[in-house]
Each structure stands twice: as structure tokens, then as C-alpha cells.
């Protein structure tokens, strides 16, 4: 039986044993989490400047919180999909070093990923705009009154996510760069490659000699630098790769 792309990727991952994954919204789409770009994406319905910038938040924090509360309602119903679990299992098998994600849904964490770098924060947390106090949002009862107030200083709380125009937290960016420098393979999973600086990471990895493997049903802005392309959904492709890995181990 001839080898296919899944066999090739599995063999590379086992041989190199120093892979990282960069994931985007497409990795959670099969869990029912709406994507942002492309057909039917959130940014085709909402304008980012109205709900996803610091200016929008301070202009009308209640409106921004209503949008994030709606997203949380959807997220609380979402479960990790087979792609999330496959990445977590690859980490457990010492095949994958770390997951670097642009997603704020924490589904990688729920699936069991231990080394997880959340570049854009977490929608399941909120942070005080004055004193920096952070608090998890485990249910919607905390959001009955909007915007929620800080229990420490009384100021307003904001979603603990990176809004448009804000920098990625330096600690997370430094960790992401460190993992990228060490990677011999980068799995680029479900990301359009259009959001910076996250989209720089595959380019940095490529320049340092890493093998870039793109898993996405659609062509992206990173397709041109990919060494191997699997045109499939991550929830389908990653479990197949994991299956081949287990057969070879």
C-alpha cells in the first residue's frame, strides 16, 4: 500500500519529535465556535471597530459586553472536537512540544493540552481596567449587570482578550517565539494567516529551517510557504495523523 500525506506527516513528526502547532479559528469551527473571516464569519456580520477595539469598549462598554456575553453563551455549549483531542494526545506522546493558539475559547485546554500559549487571551476571563485584577467567568450569572464591576477596586471589568489595536502580551509572545525557534516542524492548523503578529510565526519557523505543514480546507495566506498541505478540516485530518503515529510507534 502506497504512502499518503497522512503517513508522510506521521513519519516526519515521529522522526523530528520537535513540532509545535499554530491554531486559528478553523480549529474550533467544528466545535460550533463561529469563525471571524470567510463566508459567514463574524466580521461579515459585525464591524470590529464597533465591538472589538479598546475605543469601542471605553465608548460603550455595555454594548461590547453584550456581544461577548452572546459569544460566551455559544461557547459554553461548545465541546472540544477530535482535532483538539488529537493535538493533546500528540503532546502526551512527546510528538508535539506545544500549541500556540490565536483562539480565546480555551478548548485546547479543556481537551488536555498542557503546553498552551494563548496569544489573544481568553474569553473565559475578565480583567479590571484599573487594578488588573482577573477573574474567571464560569457561568453567565456574573454578567447579569453590564459592565461587571471589579470586586477589588470598583472599576469596570473588560474581557481578558487582545482587542484590535492592542499588542499581544509580551510574556505570551516571548514564549511563542521561543517555541517557534525550537520547532523542527510547525503544524499550521485552521488559521487564515492574515492576523499579525501571529502570522509571522510560520514565516519565522520557515526561515529557521522548519517544515511547515498546513492543515486547512481552504487556501490561505500561508499556503505559499507550506511544504506539505492537507486540504481537510482539522477535526478530520489530525485524528488520521494521530492514528498513523500510533501505528508507527
Classify each residue of 131-156 as buried b or exposed e, where b means 16 or more C-beta atoms within 10 Å of its C-beta.
Answer: eeeebebeeeeebeebbbebeeeeeb
- Centre a 10 Å sphere on the Cβ of residue 109 and count the other Cβ atoms it contains: 18
Q: Which of 84, 108, 120, 203 is catalytic?
A: 120
Report the length, in residues, of the chain: 249
Asked if residue 210 lies in contact with residue 184, where contact means CB atoms within 8 angstroms, the answer is: yes
Strands 185-189 and 19-23: parallel
Backbone φ and ψ for 90, nearest 5 degrees, come out as -60, -35
Is 120 tagged catalytic? yes
Q: Which residues are catalytic?
A: 120
Amino acid at each position: 500500500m502506497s504512502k499518503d500525506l497522512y503517513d508522510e506527516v506521521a513519519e516526519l513528526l515521529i522522526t523530528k519529535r520537535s513540532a509545535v502547532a499554530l491554531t486559528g479559528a478553523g480549529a474550533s469551527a467544528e466545535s460550533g465556535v463561529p469563525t471571524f473571516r470567510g463566508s459567514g464569519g463574524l466580521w461579515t456580520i459585525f464591524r470590529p471597530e464597533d465591538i472589538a477595539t479598546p475605543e469601542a469598549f471605553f465608548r460603550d462598554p455595555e454594548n461590547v459586553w453584550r456581544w461577548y456575553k452572546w459569544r460566551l453563551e455559544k461557547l459554553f455549549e461548545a465541546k472540544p472536537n477530535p482535532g483538539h483531542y488529537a493535538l493533546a494526545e500528540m503532546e502526551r506522546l512527546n510528538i508535539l512540544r506545544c500549541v500556540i493558539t490565536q483562539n480565546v475559547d480555551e478548548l485546547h485546554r479543556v481537551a488536555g493540552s498542557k503546553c498552551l500559549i494563548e496569544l489573544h487571551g481568553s474569553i473565559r476571563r475578565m480583567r479590571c481596567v484599573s487594578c488588573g485584577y482577573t477573574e474567571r467567568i464560569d457561568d453567565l450569572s456574573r454578567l447579569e449587570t453590564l459592565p461587571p464591576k471589579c470586586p477589588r477596586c470598583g472599576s469596570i471589568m473588560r474581557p481578558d482578550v487582545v482587542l484590535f489595536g492592542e499588542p499581544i502580551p509580551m510574556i505570551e509572545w516571548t514564549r511563542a517565539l521561543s517555541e517557534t525557534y525550537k520547532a523542527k516542524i510547525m503544524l499550521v492548523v485552521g488559521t487564515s494567516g492574515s492576523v499579525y503578529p501571529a502570522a509571522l510565526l510560520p514565516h519565522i519557523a520557515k526561515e529557521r529551517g522548519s517544515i511547515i505543514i498546513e492543515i486547512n480546507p481552504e487556501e490561505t495566506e500561508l499556503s505559499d510557504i507550506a511544504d506539505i498541505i492537507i486540504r481537510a478540516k482539522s477535526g478530520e485530518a489530525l485524528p488520521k495523523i494521530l492514528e498513523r503515529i500510533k501505528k508507527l510507534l
